[in-house]
Amino acid sequence: MGKPFRQPVIGLAICLLGAAPVLADSLKGAIRDLNGQPVAGALITVSAQRSGPAATTVFSDASGAFVFPADASFTQDGLAVSVRALGHELVTSSTQRSAANQLDLTVVVKPSANQSRSAPASAWLGVKPDHDANASFILDCVGCHQVPAPQFRDYANAIADLPGTDRGGISRHSFGALVKYMNFISAEEFSRGQEPAPLDAQNVYAVGNGERVVAFLAQRFPGRMDQVSGYSWGAKLAVTPRTAIYEYELQQPNAIREAVLLGEPGQLYVADVASSRILKVDPATGSQTALEIPHNGPVGPHTLHRAPDGSLWIAPFITSVIARLDVKAGTWKTWPMRTPEGKGVGIHDLSAGANHTLLTDKQGLVWFSDIVNNAVGYLDPATGKIGIYPAPAVPGRRANGSLYGLVMSSDREHLWYSHVATGDVGSFNIKTRQFEDSIVLPENAGPRRLGISDDDILYVPLYGSGQLLAYDTRKHKQVGLYDLPDRASAPYAVTWDPVRKVVWIPTSNADVLYRFNPADASLGVLPMPRSGAFLRMVDIDPQTGRLVTAYANIVEQVHGPRMALIIEPGDNAYAKQAAVASVPLGEVLAQRSRCYACHTPTSPLIGPPYQAIASRYSGDRAQMEAVLAEKIRRGGGGNWGDVPMVPNEHVKPADALTLARWILDQAPRK
């Protein structure tokens, strides 16, 4: 898959270990400072593996120890090791072979008050935490890239070094040129696919408030940007000694956007919004295949959703088309999208439910958000028919709100959407085709890609203000507004985790995933191993609970890592869920209904054992299931001695039938 990613990364010091070839299937070690004290919560990244990911990252525990996953293996060419630890810089590292295939890695770091090489871009906005000003700036500028990214800081340093006495005028003029250039790039990128292709800078990702942005930059960054200090992740790390981050370098050039795991064994499918392709990556080997979406013209795949049947649904950012890939058969189906008036459709999100899986309404319609027509719409996959419903204006706000995020409630009768440009969230009744709720937020709040829990709590990331909004869609009331640990983090999306019962929040400007636990309103931080980790969405593999995301730096001209990620949180939550799921439902019901107070599987207690009951009722199976289910609910005596069976009227008829079937399954095998 080519050479491992070697872009110089702010916050990571890289060294090459050992001149002699190294071959190991097991790698562990410890990280300490120059005083010999352990450094907890450091990210240790090793690249140059023999196969699979380009790099694997683990975290040090309280003793400074770390262990790489057992499935990791490393090349004979040496290990490229890098470290990210706030307030520390790498001094040296060394390896020692302790067994035939075991390497011990020792990492030494030194404290550093200057965090410019370890803190994220958001740290510079936190120096003077004017949240309102930061929020407006983030909405204007952090749509395609982090600010202030290393390249921006280099530009600011060049401005500061220019000769002249009118420092304010020099800054305003120079930053003004930068804003004009950004708008040109944005217009060029997002007018692709239009005929003719106009250079229209009034785009959702353009700098629409140029004078305000220039004034902000000149005031906030008046001199050299070589140093920043005092930054912390702001909350407890959401990691364990088993947490691992696997990074997969992708074919370049690209402007990758989202990623999901699909199929058996799981394969990574990654959207490249600057092309008409999906990149398919084998996590075990790292091998890649480009899958072209069949369409007459550029597509720009943007949003990815798995469907209940295991297929992959794709919405574009450039062209009015929806695509579906049958993962098993490798076949495509596409639906060209035009309004009844012949206008194009700017699809952003497809309707999804609590598990981030494509969800249709009760008529089988796929719904979408339309940022071009500021509308919600539907596609009938059977006929190709579409419908568009423009959203009402928000009083006192701009007319075109760019309808953006979209989710569907569990009753499959309501959509919830966000307007990123006008700062509001609303609902649409699918049955009545009417817009209903309207939640008007501060204009610079910036609600983006929504998530919804299995009990219909709507979670809204406020991209501008760096907050998380929780809204009960059943009771129609706000239930919480939470400041994120870093208010300049630019939370782009939220995804509900149906097993862990938490919310995962990818951020665009802080190189972290946040984990929000509604049970106690606590927040945890899962840092990424490299800067420029622009995250737009996170998916959860339903089998393993691993998180899937990507460093989604768009457009192509933006500097930064371009990698897909698989993250093992290391909490065994889905393994525990699988263990619970492996227990037959009948056994769960028997425990819940206190059947074990009178019965055991093989020995008499107050009542007969299940095996004896199964043997006696082993005649006509269907008839005996019904008879035994009635016996469970009504009780009675005379069949097993003098003690009558206590009625269990609290057991629902359907549960009684499940219990009866489970009991009959206990018959001794012949």
Per-residue pLDDT reduced to its tens digit, 591-626: 777 787 788 888 888 888 888 888 888 777 777 888
Domain at 584-664: CATH code? 1.10.760.10
pLDDT at 605: 80
Separation of alpha carbons 54 and 114, rounded Å: 29
pLDDT at 4: 33
Instruction: Tell me which residue of 460, 456, 483 sits closest to 470, measured CA to CA.
Output: 460
pLDDT at 584: 74
Lowest average pLDDT, out of 47-51, 64-68, 372-376, 456-460, goes to: 47-51
pLDDT at 191: 66
pLDDT at 624: 83
pLDDT at 23: 52
With 80 as the cut, is the pLDDT of residue 179 above it?
A: yes
In this structure, which CATH number among 3.30.1330.10, 3.40.50.10300, 3.30.200.20, 2.130.10.10 belongs to the domain 236-580?
A: 2.130.10.10
With 90 as the cut, is the pLDDT of residue 519 above it?
A: yes
**If pLDDT is split at 50, 70 and 90, which confidence band does 434 have?**
very high
Q: What is the pLDDT of residues 299-341, one digit of tens each?
A: 889 999 999 999 999 998 767 899 999 999 999 999 998 888 8
pLDDT at 13: 44
Separation of alpha carbons 605 and 319, rounded Å: 70
pLDDT at 634: 86
| Mean local confidence (pLDDT), 240-265 | 93
**If pLDDT is split at 50, 70 and 90, which confidence band does 5 have?**
very low
Element (H, E) at 185: helix 167-190
Mode of pairing for the β-strands spanning 26-33 and 102-111: parallel
**If pLDDT is split at 50, 70 and 90, which confidence band does 2 have?**
very low
Q: Above pLDDT 70, what percent of the chain?
A: 90
Separation of alpha carbons 50 and 75, rounded Å: 4
pTM for this prediction: 0.84
Tokens of 51: 């196969």
Mean pLDDT (the chain, rounded)? 88
Domain at 13-111: CATH code? 2.60.130.10
With 60 as the cut, is the pLDDT of residue 19 above it?
A: no
pLDDT at 201: 45
Residue 383: CB atoms within 10 Å: 8
With 90 as the cut, is the pLDDT of residue 215 above it?
A: yes
pLDDT at 636: 80
pLDDT at 77: 52
pLDDT at 79: 79
Residue 386: CB atoms within 10 Å: 22
E strands, 250-384, in order: 256-262, 267-272, 277-281, 288-292, 301-306, 312-316, 321-326, 331-336, 347-350, 366-370, 375-379
Residue 646 φ then ψ, to 5°: -70, 135
With 70 as the cut, is the pLDDT of residue 24 above it?
A: no
Tokens of 645: 């069976």
**If pLDDT is split at 50, 70 and 90, which confidence band does 203 have?**
very low
What are the beta bridge partners of residue 236?
524
- The angle formed by the CA atoms of residues 566, 313 and 269, to the nearest 5 degrees, is 30
| Mean local confidence (pLDDT), 403-430 | 95
**If pLDDT is split at 50, 70 and 90, which confidence band does 194 have?**
low
Q: Above pLDDT 90, what percent of the chain?
A: 61
347 or 16: which carries more pLDDT confidence? 347
**If pLDDT is split at 50, 70 and 90, which confidence band does 50 have?**
low
**Range with the largest mean pLDDT of 42-46, 76-80, 123-127, 201-205:** 42-46
With 70 as the cut, is the pLDDT of residue 48 above it?
A: no
pLDDT at 586: 82
Q: What is the pLDDT of residues 538-591, one digit of tens each?
A: 999 998 999 999 999 877 777 889 999 999 999 999 887 666 655 677 887 887
| Mean local confidence (pLDDT), 635-641 | 79
Lowest average pLDDT, out of 10-24, 184-198, 309-323, 375-389, goes to: 10-24
Q: Structural domain boundaries of the chain?
A: 13-111, 122-220, 236-580, 584-664
**If pLDDT is split at 50, 70 and 90, which confidence band does 406 have?**
very high
CB 32 within 8 A of CB 39: yes
With 60 as the cut, is the pLDDT of residue 222 above it?
A: yes
Residue 664 φ then ψ, to 5°: -65, -25
